[in-house]
Amino acid sequence: MKTHICFHLILLFLCIHSLQTFVHGAGECGRTSPDREAIKLAPCAMAAQDQNSRVSVTCCDRVRQIGKSPKCLCAVMLSNTAKSSGAKPEIAMTIPKRCNIADRPVGYKCGAYTLP
């Protein structure tokens, strides 16, 4: 139930921000904004709020995909969409490790945080 509410909040936030046109060149996530990429991490909502929460296979798959670009993963985890969904950056940063992603960007500096 909480996951559905978080998903709907993320979706609402994304719809509001998509009214602004993202016309500039490629950013951290290519031509897609970090806020738009963050919607793909809806299955990670609980895992990004509680370090003891189970991380789903779907969440790990999506983090693995976005994590191919450490800059993008960082931008997504620190995005306004992630923050508005209740994600805690210090906990969200632990998801790649909790998913046992072998090629995760260990030690990558992400804002005030370092990926473990």
- Please provide the average confidence, as pLDDT, over all residues in the chain: 81
pTM for the full model? 0.73
d(CA 98, CA 94): 6
What distance lies between CA 28 and its chain's CA centroid? Answer: 13
Instruction: Give pLDDT, residue 3.
Output: 55
CA dihedral of 58, 56, 28, 2, whole degrees rounded to 10: 110
pLDDT digits (tens, 9 = 90+) for 48-93: 999 999 999 999 999 999 989 999 999 999 999 999 999 999 999 9
% pLDDT > 70, the chain: 78
Other beta carbons within 10 angstroms of residue 81's beta carbon come to: 23
Contact 70, 29 (CB under 8 A): no
Binned at pLDDT 50, 70 and 90, residue 24 comes out as: very low
